[in-house]
Structure 1
Amino acid sequence: MNEIARRLAPIAKDQTEAQYREAPNNLEAEQALLGAILVNNDAFYRVSDFLKPVHLNEPLHRKIFEVAGDIIRMGKTANPVTIKTFLKADEKVGDLTVAQYLARLASEAVSIINAEDYGRAIYDLALRRSLITIGEDMVNIAYDAPLDMPPQSQIEDAERRLFELAETGRYDGGFQAFNDAVALAIDMAGQAFERDGHLSGISSGIMSLDARMGGLQRSDLIVLAGRPGMGKTSLATNIAYNIAAAYEPEVQADGSFKARNGGVVGFYSLEMSSEQLATRIISEQTEVSSSKIRRGEISEHDFEKLVACSQMMQKVPLYIDQTGGISIAQLSARARRLKRQRGLDCLVVDYIQLMTGSGKSSDNRVQEITQITTGLKALGKELNVPIIALSQLSRQVESREDKRPQLSDLRESGSIEQDADVVLFVFREEYYVKNMEPRDEFDPKYEEWKQTFEKVKGTADVIIAKQRHGPTGTVKLAFQSEFTRFTDLADPSFTQYEEH
């Protein structure tokens, strides 16, 4: 028995040590950084862009860093004398009072040159502590998983938390000071002033549409809806390619890239294959009919244009996912991965009704659509990118004399209208007028029909039915059906915007 006890003793000791392992931290680095800030307030600005109070491990150090930051931002001097009035006077640090501890920090301060190095060390340790928390949660949930949480859901949740940690250095969210929000708003205005076209959002490449929307705003859910044959996929494809083709990267201080113009686009094509989508884009760019490309009815000159276009398109940052029936959780996980690996500035989903919800298969399609639109809105905010989600319209449009879509026509759920920041309807009167052509060209009504058809031929209306940031109304565009291309109207007399 004594032999067994002797053998188990080292194991028990190792387990006890493992159980009480201290979270990674560096008290001396925190003290050195705070001392440098108290001696020379410029040290604060060396670390303030990436280091926040929450990154310091010692609660008193967090409070000192926070108070010092507030005082310095107000243009005042932060030193042991000015800071101590904002801290608890009766708090003790070992044998020292808070005032004595502040004086000790300042007296043992390191050079300001080292401030950023200490800040980086503290930040890295904070990330490690966050990783430990996520890891512990993963292990605990996996051991004692709730019945309604399948392993796939846990993987998606862990991936979301890791992505947030990688993007921002913290995963707890919480409130944001209003002055930070104001600073962001001013930055956005400054970027809009410098960007081509002076847009606050990303340019769609269609000027008359940008003029009414200010571009595609980050974190917005933009629903693009229309009946079959109206060209909603064509418009989404046009916008996606325009954004990707205009991409101009700008190197940031940390070595990452940010889009100065255009952007990296992710396109979820649930209806068409990637090859069909590519054919549409090539047709639009080369002005060679997509039906001729598919049938091989092209000349040698046309083929040369296709090859030249494909070589140019290889450099365009447009990524296509053709998985059918993808769930909102899978879509979110893949979008996070794309942003982490390649960058992401805009997301297109074609279309909402072909997606599935994340939960159990439900008979209630309305609830499922609500889950999808809520998920898309949350994803847009999380990734800080505009999401263009296509949607079908109900058949009740066809039974009306006036075929122009209304918000009430959005199919299967009021949540599409509710969650969307912008709702756009694509309406081509040409499509309906063409179907009304009299069979006999000698019919007295034929001339009247011909005049109406010539008036609407090659035009399309994009109806802005809802917009949180601006007015509603109708934008007239040109539509070339053989190339599936939407463009601004060449004749300025047609580019009038009807405001409602």
Structure 2
Amino acid sequence: MSQDEDQPAAGTHDVDAEKAVLRAMLRSTEAIADIVEVLRGDDFYRAAHELIYNAVLSLYADGQTPDAIMVGAKLAEQDELDKAGGQDYLTAVASSPSRGASWQKEADRIQVLAVLRRTKAAAVHIENLADEGTVETAERIINAAQAEIFAATTRRRDVLPPLYALGDVLEGTLDTIEAAASPRSEASGLPTGFTDLDSLTNGLQPGHLTVIAARPAMGKSTLALDFLRAAAIRHGLPVALFTLEASRDEVATRLLAAEARVSVHRMRSGTMEDDDWARLARRMPDVSAAPLYIQDGAYANLVDLRAQCRRLRAQQDVRLIVVDALHLLTYGTRPFASRYEEISEISRCLKLLAKELQVPVVAISQLNRGPEQRVDKRPLVSDLRDSGALEDNADLIILLHREDAYEKESPRAGEADLIVAKHRNGPTATITVAFQGHYARFVDMAQT
């Protein structure tokens, strides 16, 4: 180990900060508990420090209180003591004077420097890929570049997905089952704002793709906006809407109408009354503070959407993504033999994106004219437009149906059916809700 190697660098590593973190971990289990929430072994620049860090965590996981002697013994047992600098180095690290900064700050510094190193390495790799790229391989390179930058700049990440022994998994599974049986249990996923739907699905689940489908003017976008309102306004969770159908001003108008119970027509025609303005003023603070992000770019494609979703997940911790609508979305980087194939690939990629980011993704889709050719007009999964692959890739499919859209004098005027036609992890059902079109919202029947 050279003297120069121990000197803090002005670039992308700080050996003294790494020593300070290890010193704290060798002296205090409290420090271990804090630091493990920030750092992973490969965040350390020096390989010796990574070995020491991992040995400390191994002892800590066994319920022991690590010190220089115990860590040395652990490393010797693994035939790695010499690689870690030897026992004298461990003792010197544990007894080194404090730099004055808290171990949390030192750990944060190490992590930031590790992110810079990974970003630099990713940039070099991406440049090499681009140099070797062709028009035919551009799509693969673009996706690889986005994934590499996302992985490099994510502060907490797993380099490889971990493997889990079934016995370890079952313990957590039983806890989940017991919690669900509790009278006080709540939806494990994101709440939709609809009591019966949440009871059926346990909310919108991370990693799942949900498809909302209906014929035009049934209220697909309105239902998706209800999901967003429930998450962002009622529960303060960051959410994102990618809309190709409505402008951001139209989305904001519908949000205000739904929350303040003010007619959309009055808001747009300039005929609002004093009571309307009062209701609007009462709800404005909560609506404006909601962490809802809107992207209404007219030329959005899947490649752009995927990149923005990764950035929003990393920077804003978005918990729900809505795409409105699939039939207007293009893939973006390569041609397809048919629209059927393109939609199939888009839906597959949205499912993979949901799994990668571990958030629910809700996609809005059109139905073909099948329902209008039947007597009862009720939609079926087979009516999904452009691609049967939507049914394969979706975890949850909600078909929206309103009788009064076809028969104005229907005895069910003002009612809507949420037909849960596919539910990968549970039963299917038809849930009746109230449609309040003048307020641009659906609500539980009990709220009418």
TM-score of the superposition, structure 2-length normalised? Answer: 0.81
For residue 476 of structure 1, what is the aligned residue in structure 2? 432
Deviation at 1:404, TM superposition (A): 2.5
Deviation at 1:424, TM superposition (A): 1.0
1:384 is aligned, of 349, 358, 374, to 358
For residue 83 of structure 1, what is the aligned residue in structure 2? 74
Paired residues for 1:260-299 under 5 Å: 261-299=235-273
Paired residues for 1:96-115 under 5 Å: 101-109=86-94, 110=96, 115=103
For residue 217 of structure 2, what is the aligned residue in structure 1? 229
For residue 132 of structure 1, what is the aligned residue in structure 2? 120
- Contact kept in structure 2, 1:422 and 1:466, CA below 8 Å: yes
In the superposition, relative to structure 1, how do residues 39 and 182 fare at CA in structure 2: closer, same or farther (>3 Å)? Answer: farther
For residue 143 of structure 1, what is the aligned residue in structure 2? 131
For residue 346 of structure 1, what is the aligned residue in structure 2? 320
Deviation string, structure 1 residues 324-368 (Cα, Å, up to 9, x no partner): 352111112223344455442222111111100133132321221
Q: Which moved more, 1:71-80 or 1:129-138?
A: 71-80
Deviation at 1:37, TM superposition (A): 4.1
For residue 166 of structure 1, what is the aligned residue in structure 2? 153
SS of residue in 2 equivalent to 1:319: strand
What CA distance in whole angstroms lies between the structure 2 residues aligned with 1:236 and 1:85? 58
2:329 is aligned, of 355, 359, 365, to 355
What CA distance in whole angstroms lies between the structure 1 residues aligned with 2:185 and 2:257? 27
Deviation string, structure 1 residues 293-346 (Cα, Å, up to 9, x no partner): 434444454455456655653333323222235211111222334445544222
What CA distance in whole angstroms lies between the structure 2 residues aligned with 1:189 and 1:24? 46
SS of residue in 2 equivalent to 1:490: helix
- Contact kept in structure 2, 1:80 and 1:106, CA below 8 Å: no
For residue 442 of structure 1, what is the aligned residue in structure 2? none
Deviation at 1:171, TM superposition (A): 7.1
What CA distance in whole angstroms lies between the structure 2 residues aligned with 1:352 and 1:407? 16
TM-score of the superposition, structure 1-length normalised? Answer: 0.74
- Alignment-mate amino acid for residue 137 of structure 1: H
For residue 419 of structure 1, what is the aligned residue in structure 2? 393
For residue 3 of structure 2, what is the aligned residue in structure 1? none
- Contact kept in structure 2, 1:80 and 1:103, CA below 8 Å: no
Count of residue correspondences = 432
What CA distance in whole angstroms lies between the structure 2 residues aligned with 1:298 and 1:80? 72
2:50 is aligned, of 44, 62, 66, to 62
The unaligned stretches of length 5 or more in structure 2 are 1-8
Deviation at 1:165, TM superposition (A): 3.1
Deviation at 1:77, TM superposition (A): 4.8
- Contact kept in structure 2, 1:243 and 1:263, CA below 8 Å: yes
Q: Which moved more, 1:206-215 or 1:272-281?
A: 272-281
- Contact kept in structure 1, 2:238 and 2:291, CA below 8 Å: yes
The unaligned stretches of length 5 or more in structure 1 are 1-20, 247-260, 438-452, 493-500
What CA distance in whole angstroms lies between the structure 1 residues aligned with 2:175 and 2:155? 18
Deviation at 1:388, TM superposition (A): 1.4
What CA distance in whole angstroms lies between the structure 2 residues aligned with 1:376 and 1:145? 25
- Contact kept in structure 2, 1:202 and 1:262, CA below 8 Å: no
For residue 206 of structure 1, what is the aligned residue in structure 2? 194
What CA distance in whole angstroms lies between the structure 1 residues aligned with 2:320 and 2:89? 51
Deviation string, structure 1 residues 15-60 (Cα, Å, up to 9, x no partner): xxxxxx9994455554565465456555433421122122233445
What CA distance in whole angstroms lies between the structure 2 residues aligned with 1:51 and 1:334? 26
Deviation at 1:175, TM superposition (A): 2.6
What CA distance in whole angstroms lies between the structure 2 residues aligned with 1:306 and 1:390? 28
For residue 4 of structure 2, what is the aligned residue in structure 1? none
Q: Which moved more, 1:403-412 or 1:127-136?
A: 403-412
2:422 is aligned, of 462, 466, 471, to 466
Deviation at 1:81, TM superposition (A): 5.6
For residue 497 of structure 1, what is the aligned residue in structure 2? none
Q: Which moved more, 1:157-166 or 1:229-238?
A: 157-166
What CA distance in whole angstroms lies between the structure 1 residues aligned with 2:97 and 2:367? 66
- Alignment-mate amino acid for residue 112 of structure 2: D
What CA distance in whole angstroms lies between the structure 2 residues aligned with 1:288 and 1:168? 43
Whether 1:430 aligns to 2:415 is no
